[in-house]
Amino acid sequence: MPENGFRLLPLDDDSWRLEAYLRRGGYETARKVLTSMAPEAVIAEVRKASLRGRGGAGFPAGVKWGFVPKGVSGPKYLCVNSDEAEPGTFKDRLVLLRAPHQLLEGMLITAFAVGIRTAFIYVRGEYALVARRLEEAIVEARSAGYIGPRLFGTDLSLDVVVHLGAGAYICGEETALLESLEGRRGMPRVRPPFPAVVGLFRSPTVINNVETLATVPQILARGADSFLSRGLPKDGGTRLYCVSGAVRRPGTYELAVGTPLREIIEVHAGGTPEGKGLKAVIPGGLSAPVLLPGEIDIPMDVDSLARAGSMLGSAGIVVIPEGTPMLDVLHATARFYAHESCGKCTPCRIGTSWILKIVGRLRRDGGRPADFDLILRLADGIKGKTLCPLGEGAAMPIQALVTKFRGELERAVAR
């Protein structure tokens, strides 16, 4: 756990106020970085820390920043992804409510490292209180000289704009987010070119998750080696693990990267309630393939979850208790993706809606004998055939549920 000064979820009652952040040593790291470091040295330190993106894909932040072309004459942008619409994930909301200045300081350092003067924070449409608090923090930071022109007496500047989305899961996908910010319907773009080269308004753009950026100040304050001393040797620091579902203490836990899933559920979240056994766990938000109780002795980091055939994703852990009908879980999952598919790619648009129709008829009247195989084939027809990873995100959990709970599902629809 980082000491209070660097906690993403600080303990002080008024932790979101500038005054409280300054008490914790806030903005001192940005001052040091902007007045005494070279931008390349900042990128090198974040690369050395191998800070992996906390938004879902786990891509190393320092490497991404290094892709932004040097010496371009036009503008470059920073976009903070605060869309947070994946079921099971609610960590960024807490960072924004409790430590908005830590995000702003991380943005300042990132903007300096990449040569950016304008940043946008794309906030999920339903997060009205979050957006208000962010606006308040920006006003505080601007009046104290931490945002705006001539930062820390240098000729550097940064402007920050809060943009409220309209509540669509696809707008968390980085290129759909850019479309939405530009005023169009949120739909993914063809890649390459990647946003680091051609992004917002066709300019080089860094897109990072809230937690990723709020973690940056501690790396620059104490160095990459100290960051790597927590967590795993190649994946350092802490992560915010959200735990919901059948546990005694649901919530968000700030723990070392690689903390075992069993420990998070049983120790930190207090285990399942009295008399309820564990049936399954979704380890990284709804898109992450489900794990069985025998599979939860696993470190919670990007690589370990991938090796286990699942995904750390946004680290949203959903605990499913014994007695839950998995046909209902399958239906809720299918309904979410059919509703949220943006419709741009045919395999995702048609595939997700067919899967929902078939799961619906299975529930209604037992369906047809080959329906579960058909669902698996339809999911296979989405994977790898869409412009953005929403396709994989829809197909993988469906396939895992049908494969791992086939016996139960077949018994549930047998008449």
Ligand X SMILES: Cc1cc2nc3c(=O)[nH]c(=O)nc-3n(C[C@H](O)[C@H](O)[C@H](O)COP(=O)(O)O)c2cc1C
DSSP class of residue 139 equals: H
The span from the CA of 66 to the CA of 310, in Å, is 29
Amino acid at 285: G
Between the alpha carbon of residue 54 and those of residues 82, 147, 236, the distances in Å are 11, 24, 12
389 binds ligand X (CB under 6 A): yes
Q: Which is nearer to ligand X, 2 or 165 (CB)?
A: 165
Minimum CB separation from ligand X for residue 305, in Å?
15
Size of the site for ligand X (CB under 6 A): 25
Site stretch for ligand X (CB under 6 A), options 15-23, 214-222, 234-242, 388-396: 388-396
Minimum CB separation from ligand X for residue 323, in Å?
31
Q: Which is nearer to ligand X, 59 or 201 (CB)?
A: 59
The span from the CA of 241 to the CA of 15, in Å, is 20
The span from the CA of 60 to the CA of 307, in Å, is 18
Q: Which is nearer to ligand X, 137 or 302 (CB)?
A: 302
The beta-strand segments (E) located in 76-165 are: 77-82, 118-123, 159-164
Q: Which is nearer to ligand X, 90 or 152 (CB)?
A: 90
Joined together, the tokens standing for residue 223 give 């160095």
Site stretch for ligand X (CB under 6 A), options 12-20, 78-86, 101-109, 360-368: 78-86
81 binds ligand X (CB under 6 A): yes
Amino acid at 232: L
CA-nearest of 372, 374, 326, 334 to 353 is: 334
* Number of other CB atoms surrounding residue 180 within 10 Å: 22
Minimum CB separation from ligand X for residue 174, in Å?
4
55 binds ligand X (CB under 6 A): yes
Helix (H) or strand (E) holding 231: strand 231-232
- Cβ-contact 25, 193 below 8 angstroms: no
**Among residues 53, 195, 258, 299, which is the contact residue for ligand X, using CB under 6 A?**
53
Q: Which of residues 155-214 bind ligand X (CB under 6 A)?
A: 169-170, 172-174, 207-209, 212
Q: Which is nearer to ligand X, 85 or 147 (CB)?
A: 85
**Among residues 43, 68, 85, 290, which is the contact residue for ligand X, using CB under 6 A?**
85
Q: Which residues bind ligand X (CB under 6 A)?
A: 53-57, 59, 61, 81, 83-86, 169-170, 172-174, 207-209, 212, 388-390, 393
